[in-house]
């Protein structure tokens, strides 16, 4: 159990007794026990006897910062293979702050509204710009955090500057004049307000104050970047916080005085462990909600259109997965060595499985009645 898990585990009884949503309680329990003795374990061994390793099961939850380290790297590579190497825009759509007190009880609804309003805004402006119905391409990535790890739901969009004509016979190029903030803000705010009114009609329990705030709501500004020559820098940036989790344990210090420090570039934010856990659980989104979505010819249902675009654009589809971001190279190596022997590189075989709180025979054979901790065993047993 690492320091993060220990801090989380210390509050697990209070969390389980609270009125927090059931999905939050399940995730907290799973993450706090991830890779500990409370999970089943497996022994993997080199077929020629060079090396053996004992590993506990992972929770593989998207809210687990340990489990997501490898998934972030994989998403980075797969996404770079998926996109066209053409100019892209980076857009950010936010929810107004008056919604934050309601988010935990209606998390799924607000996330769907955010995805829906941002997607409709992009499609509407592109359609009006060309007076056609072309097929654009964009990837929407949900973030729920701010700089201080506070609740701040927003969506980052990687938008291709290329769209495919309705007849699929030519490419249309999105001109930067399309991205006037006034145009985007007015359309987005109109759609967002409409979605929120519908939400209140379906959920009157949100109350009169909620409805009054919608009526007072005037403007939520959108961020729009200059055109990037390639989508890869945007993908590198988003890879750090995909899968609904923005917590990098390499940037967190848990102090002996019961406080937590989060380091962001040249800034350090400090708060109590209780406040840290309180902020963490606010970023646990329901399991059946997708936090990354692909639209237009980037969607899985439009593979034929994607191939047409590449053919028309005369792109080289071969992509070398070169990672320009050193932060994404910090792979969880200790949980890869079960795949291949670090000495001879042969595929490891499953030697033994054990239940929770049980220790495999190989541990007793090598270390007797007082075996070392799992981490130490992983390093020693060879």
Digit-coded pLDDT (tens) for 68-110 = 777 788 888 999 988 998 999 999 999 888 998 898 888 899 9
Residue 131 burial (CB count, 10 A): 6
pLDDT surpasses 60 at 244: no
Task: Say yes or no: 191 and 307 in one domain.
Answer: yes
Quote the CA–CA distance of 233 and 328 in Å, as a whole number.
Answer: 13
Task: Say yes or no: 108 and 199 in one domain.
Answer: yes
| Structure tokens that stand for 317 in this block | 């589809």
| Structure tokens that stand for 355 in this block | 């239940």
User: Is residue 357, in this structure, part of any structural domain at all?
Assistant: yes
Residue 243 pLDDT class (50, 70, 90 cuts):
low
pLDDT digits (tens, 9 = 90+) for 22-78: 888 999 999 998 888 888 888 888 888 877 788 888 888 888 888 877 778 888 899
Residue that is written with structure tokens 């489990």 in the block: 67
What range defines the domain where residue 54 resides?
A: 3-61+348-380
- Please give the pLDDT value at position 66: 80
Task: Say yes or no: 361 and 241 in one domain.
Answer: no
User: Is residue 41, in this structure, part of any structural domain at all?
Assistant: yes
Task: Say yes or no: 270 and 370 in one domain.
Answer: no
**pLDDT (mean) for 221-240:** 85
Count of domains in the chain? Answer: 3
Quote the CA–CA distance of 146 and 152 in Å, as a whole number.
Answer: 5
Helix (H) or strand (E) holding 253: strand 252-254
**pLDDT (mean) for 341-369:** 78
**Spatial CA neighbour of 326 closest among 65, 73, 145, 85:** 73
Q: Is 74 exposed, middle or buried (0-12, 13-18, 19+ CB in 10 A)?
A: exposed
Task: Say yes or no: 242 and 293 in one domain.
Answer: yes
| Structure tokens that stand for 238 in this block | 């988003």
pLDDT surpasses 60 at 334: no
Contact in structure between 52 and 43 (CB atoms under 8 Å): yes
pLDDT surpasses 60 at 17: yes
User: Is residue 338, in this structure, part of any structural domain at all?
Assistant: no
Q: Provide the whole-model pTM.
A: 0.81
Task: Say yes or no: 129 and 203 in one domain.
Answer: yes
Contact in structure between 123 and 136 (CB atoms under 8 Å): yes
pLDDT digits (tens, 9 = 90+) for 175-212: 766 666 567 788 888 899 999 999 999 999 999 999 99
Residue 372 pLDDT class (50, 70, 90 cuts):
low
- Please give the pLDDT value at position 105: 85
Task: Say yes or no: 288 and 275 in one domain.
Answer: no
Give the CB-side neighbour count of residue 173, counting CA atoms within 13 A. 7
Task: Say yes or no: 81 and 95 in one domain.
Answer: yes
User: Is residue 324, in this structure, part of any structural domain at all?
Assistant: no
- Please give the pLDDT value at position 323: 44
Of 264, 292, 316, the residue at which a domain comes to its end is 316
- Please give the pLDDT value at position 345: 83
pLDDT surpasses 60 at 270: yes
Residue 299 pLDDT class (50, 70, 90 cuts):
very high
**Calculated CA dihedral for residues 187, 190, 191, 194, nearest 10 degrees:** -170
- Provide, rounded to the nearest whole percent, the portion of the chain with pLDDT above 70: 85
- CATH code of the domain in which 124 resides: 3.40.1310
Task: Say yes or no: 135 and 176 in one domain.
Answer: yes
Helix (H) or strand (E) holding 26: helix 22-33
């Amino acid at each position: 159990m690492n320091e993060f898990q220990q801090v989380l585990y210390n509050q697990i009884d209070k969390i389980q007794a609270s009125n927090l949503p059931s999905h939050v309680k399940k995730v907290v329990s799973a993450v706090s026990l991830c890779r500990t003795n409370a999970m089943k374990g497996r022994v993997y061994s080199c077929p020629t006897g060079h090396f053996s390793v004992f590993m506990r099961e992972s929770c593989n939850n998207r809210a687990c910062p340990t489990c997501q380290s490898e998934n972030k790297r994989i998403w980075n590579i797969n996404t770079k293979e998926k996109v066209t190497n053409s100019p892209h825009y980076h857009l950010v759509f936010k929810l107004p702050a008056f919604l934050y007190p309601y988010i935990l009880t209606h998390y799924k609804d607000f996330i769907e509204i955010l995805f829906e309003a941002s997607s409709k805004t992009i499609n509407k402006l592109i359609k009006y710009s060309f007076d056609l119905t072309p097929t654009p391409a964009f990837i929407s990535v949900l973030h729920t955090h701010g700089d201080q790890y506070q609740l701040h739901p927003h969506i980052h969009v990687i938008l291709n500057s290329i769209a495919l004509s309705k007849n699929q016979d030519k490419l249309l190029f999105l001109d930067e004049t399309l991205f006037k903030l006034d145009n985007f803000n007015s359309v987005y705010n109109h759609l967002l307000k409409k979605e929120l009114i519908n939400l209140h009609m379906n959920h009157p329990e949100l109350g009169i104050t909620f409805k009054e705030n919608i009526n007072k709501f005037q403007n939520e500004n959108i961020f729009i970047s200059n055109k990037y020559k390639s989508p890869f820098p945007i993908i590198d940036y988003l890879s750090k916080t995909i899968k609904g989790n923005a917590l990098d344990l390499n940037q967190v210090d848990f102090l002996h005085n019961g406080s937590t420090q989060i380091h962001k570039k040249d800034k350090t934010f400090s708060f109590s462990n209780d406040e840290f856990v309180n902020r963490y659980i606010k970023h646990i989104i329901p399991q059946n909600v997708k936090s990354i979505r692909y639209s237009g010819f980037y969607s899985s249902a439009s593979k034929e259109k994607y191939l047409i675009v590449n053919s028309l654009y005369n792109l080289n589809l071969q992509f070398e997965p070169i990672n320009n971001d050193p932060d994404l190279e910090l792979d969880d190596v200790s949980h890869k060595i079960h795949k291949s022997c670090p000495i001879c590189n042969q595929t490891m075989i499953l030697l033994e499985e054990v239940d929770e709180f049980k220790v495999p025979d190989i541990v007793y054979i090598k270390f007797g009645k007082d075996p070392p901790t799992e981490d130490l065993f992983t390093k020693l047993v060879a």
